[in-house]
A and B are shown apart, each in its own frame.
Chain A
Amino acid sequence: MRSIQRRLSLGLAGVLVVVGLILAQSSLWLFDHSLRRYLREDLEDETQTLLIALVRGQNGVQLDERRLDPTFQRPFSGHYFRIDFGDETWRSRSLWDRSLQPPAKEGLQDGLGDGPQGQRLLVFRADYRRFGQTFSINVAQDYTPILQGFRRLQWLGLALGGGALLLILLAQRYTVRVALRPLERVRGQIAQLQQGRRSELDSQVPQELEPLVGQINRLLSHTEETLRRSRNALGNLGHALKTPLAVLVSLSERQDLRDQPELQATLREQLTQIQQRLERELGRARLAGEALPGAHFDCAAELPGLFSTLGMIHSHGLKLDWQAAPGLCLPWDREDLLELLGNLLDNACKWADAEVCLSLAEEGDAYRLWVDDDGPGIAPQRRADVLGRGTRLDEQVAGHGLGLGIVRDIVDAWGGTLSLEDSPLGGLRVVVRLPKNSSVA
């Protein structure tokens, strides 16, 4: 967003400055050019007036002072002439002690000539023949006031142009911001998606964004669908394998086999291994991991169901409790988190005497989960063993094992950590720390 804005501003400003300068300078030049052409006619008129003022007197050719413009008499008036004929050179009084450099050829001099008192002169030369002689009449006019006018105009133009540029840039910034607002909204929605606060992007977007948003939504639903299908397939596979396994487990307990304890023990052991391996691998395969950006787990909506399920399974009067900030949402797949919490809490319930407590909180850039119980706990020196080998925490309590193994898989998939501590309730506290979605910058 910001980069598009800046790029547009820079581009527009550049174009406006270049075009503005070219336009201003060329119009000044055109104006200067036509003004000089206009003044040239005046100067030509003046040369003719001077020509007429040339009269033949007693001492040869003379200039009739009365016919001269009074400005030629006033020193440094800005109007000057110089008449060259034969060996003589006449200068106007206004030139005072300065001379006027005549142009090399007839007509208006290309550049401006230097005049007295720093004046810049527009010089015109016309050659005439009169009284059998060639008179080269040069007339000059001070161009400085006009140059100063031009300079003033340039400053004014620069100020006006700068102001206009600023105004245009501000207006453009506003327009761009308004135009890019849908883009900004989509960006915000994608951030929400990553944080698990929304499951798809709003499809009410401008035409230009429609394909993008549509494609993202399609991808999301496709990922979700794929996950659902693969979970379903895994469920079916599990069903197909576990039902015969249940038959075998049941058979292994038969009276006929009790008479052959060795055979029964081997059978049981192998069946247990198959079962554990199956649970673990199916559990691992079911994990969504980070595949689903729209996934989220609404604590207030999901935990009551989980806790009543736990209450149903562990019906021996445990006090089950959970604490989470109102509206706390965890940005992970619902089923994964239910599996994580379910297994941790299930273990806690098996060991607890009377109380199990779950506490969830947001801590800086991570989420912190505590599962507390008031059971016997685990001695500190054994904790590393229990975590390291992923051994069954529930070996002595009937029920499905591997809870901690699957928990480890889930925590690892999310880049989190799992540790065991003393619980204020007297038993074990399982601490799970899950970093906030690492893919969100």
Chain B
Amino acid sequence: MRLLLVEDHVPLADELIAALGRQGYAVDWLADGRDAVYQGATEPYDLIVLDLGLPGKPGLEVLREWRAGGLATPVLILTARGSWAERIEGLKAGADDYLTKPFHPEELALRLQALARRAHGLANQPQLEAAGLQLDEGRQCVTRDGEQIELTSAEFRLLRYFMLHPGQILSKGQLADHLYDGESERDSNVLEVHVNRLRGKLGREVIETRRGQGYRYAGVGA
């Protein structure tokens, strides 16, 4: 899951990047509103966390431009401006959720998870469930038939992305785009290794290979 963090306060951004990284997000960080307008619209992000008081361009303006340009990525506004009038303003500009500073890191994690599920039509689920598997995003482990299976960070990221797109064919390029941030090196062999490890833990049928097209999450017993 690729996440764009737009926040101009460096210490907070450092904290967030570290926390979000631990939660398996590939985070790109920007501090300037003008850069955010461009990069948010060109890179394939799955989630955006947006601060409102930004240098260059106010956050609400950035959001409006994204929405006017047809960007549908879920945006969570993270701001110190917590009055209801400002929240409504944020929603009208096209935000999907609103969290006021100071916030509990856990709260942010839960809201981002809920936002991702909602964006993929999986609302009203306390946990990510798809085709027989339940993913605990907090503890980064998966439950199959009541049996808990631990995952490495890389496996967790990959499985989460698959489970958010059940039944869809995902090319290697697409997977790489959404699993690695803009600065990591992309090696499709590494991806293959992680897919194989997941198959080893969950069973071969969980992820199908479509030759020349990519992978498809089929789940278990579906």
Are A398 and B107 in contact, CB atoms less than 8 angstroms apart? Answer: yes
Partner of A238, one of B11, B80, B106: B80
Verify if A260 is at the interface (C-beta below 8 Å from B). no
| A82 CA / B19 CA spacing, docked (Å) | 138
Chain B residues lying within 8 Å of A275, measured Cβ to Cβ, are: 102
Are A400 and B100 in contact, CB atoms less than 8 angstroms apart? Answer: yes
Verify if B213 is at the interface (C-beta below 8 Å from A). no
Are A309 and B87 in contact, CB atoms less than 8 angstroms apart? Answer: yes
Chain B 14-55: CB-based contact to A (< 8 A → 1; otherwise 0) = 011001000000000000000000000000000000000100
B82: nearest residue on chain A (CB-CB)? A400
Known: A309-B88, A335-B83, A338-B83. A247 touches B104 (CB 8 A): no
Q: Which of A239, A302, A341 has the most CB of B within 10 A?
A: A239
Are A338 and B88 in contact, CB atoms less than 8 angstroms apart? Answer: yes
Are B81 and A235 in contact, CB atoms less than 8 angstroms apart? Answer: yes
Verify if A312 is at the interface (C-beta below 8 Å from B). yes
Chain B 112-152: CB-based contact to A (< 8 A → 1; otherwise 0) = 00100010000110000000000000000000000000000
Verify if B222 is at the interface (C-beta below 8 Å from A). no
Chain B nearest Cβ from A325, distance in angstroms:
22
Partner of A239, one of B79, B83, B104: B79
Q: Which of B90-104 contact A (CB under 8 A)?
A: 91-92, 95-98, 100-104
Chain A 254-282: CB-based contact to B (< 8 A → 1; otherwise 0) = 00000000000000000100010001000
Provide the main secondary structure of the chain A interface: helix
Known: A339-B85, A342-B87. A313 touches B12 (CB 8 A): no
| A204 CA / B1 CA spacing, docked (Å) | 60
Chain A nearest Cβ from B108, distance in angstroms:
9
> Size band of the B side of the interface?
35 or more
A283: nearest residue on chain B (CB-CB)? B83
Verify if B173 is at the interface (C-beta below 8 Å from A). no
Q: Which of B62-80 contact A (CB under 8 A)?
A: 79-80
A249: nearest residue on chain B (CB-CB)? B102
Chain B residues lying within 8 Å of A399, measured Cβ to Cβ, are: 107
Verify if A253 is at the interface (C-beta below 8 Å from B). yes
B13: nearest residue on chain A (CB-CB)? A247
Partner of A250, one of B19, B53, B96, B100: B19
Partner of A249, one of B104, B114, B118: B104
Verify if A10 is at the interface (C-beta below 8 Å from B). no
Are B81 and A238 in contact, CB atoms less than 8 angstroms apart? Answer: yes
Are B84 and A243 in contact, CB atoms less than 8 angstroms apart? Answer: no
Verify if B105 is at the interface (C-beta below 8 Å from A). yes
Are B104 and A245 in contact, CB atoms less than 8 angstroms apart? Answer: no
Chain B nearest Cβ from A354, distance in angstroms:
12
Chain B residues lying within 8 Å of A315, measured Cβ to Cβ, are: 114, 118, 123-124
Verify if B199 is at the interface (C-beta below 8 Å from A). no
Are B85 and A338 in contact, CB atoms less than 8 angstroms apart? Answer: yes
Chain B residues lying within 8 Å of A250, measured Cβ to Cβ, are: 12, 15-16, 19, 105
Chain B residues lying within 8 Å of A342, measured Cβ to Cβ, are: 84, 87
Are B123 and A245 in contact, CB atoms less than 8 angstroms apart? Answer: no
Known: A315-B123, A398-B104. A247 touches B84 (CB 8 A): no
Are A306 and B84 in contact, CB atoms less than 8 angstroms apart? Answer: yes
Chain A residues lying within 8 Å of B107, measured Cβ to Cβ, are: 398-399
Chain A nearest Cβ from B74, distance in angstroms:
11
Chain A nearest Cβ from B64, distance in angstroms:
16
Known: A239-B53, A247-B9, A247-B11. A312 touches B96 (CB 8 A): yes
Chain A residues lying within 8 Å of B114, measured Cβ to Cβ, are: 315
Verify if A286 is at the interface (C-beta below 8 Å from B). yes
Chain B residues lying within 8 Å of A308, measured Cβ to Cβ, are: 91
Chain A nearest Cβ from B185, distance in angstroms:
28
Q: Which of A208-255 contact B (CB under 8 A)?
A: 235-236, 238-251, 253
Chain A residues lying within 8 Å of B118, measured Cβ to Cβ, are: 315
Verify if A305 is at the interface (C-beta below 8 Å from B). yes
Chain B residues lying within 8 Å of A249, measured Cβ to Cβ, are: 102-105
Known: A250-B16, A312-B96. A339 touches B103 (CB 8 A): no
| A335 CA / B103 CA spacing, docked (Å) | 23
| A308 CA / B100 CA spacing, docked (Å) | 17
Known: A249-B105, A309-B98, A312-B97. A243 touches B123 (CB 8 A): no
B51: nearest residue on chain A (CB-CB)? A243
| A251 CA / B12 CA spacing, docked (Å) | 9
Verify if A47 is at the interface (C-beta below 8 Å from B). no
What would be 12 A-B contacts, judged by CB atoms less than 8 Å apart? A235-B80, A235-B81, A236-B53, A243-B80, A246-B103, A251-B15, A253-B105, A305-B88, A305-B91, A305-B92, A315-B124, A342-B84
Given A246-B102, A247-B12, A335-B85, 11 more pairs with CB closer than 8 A: A241-B80, A242-B102, A249-B102, A305-B91, A306-B84, A306-B88, A334-B85, A335-B84, A338-B83, A339-B85, A341-B84
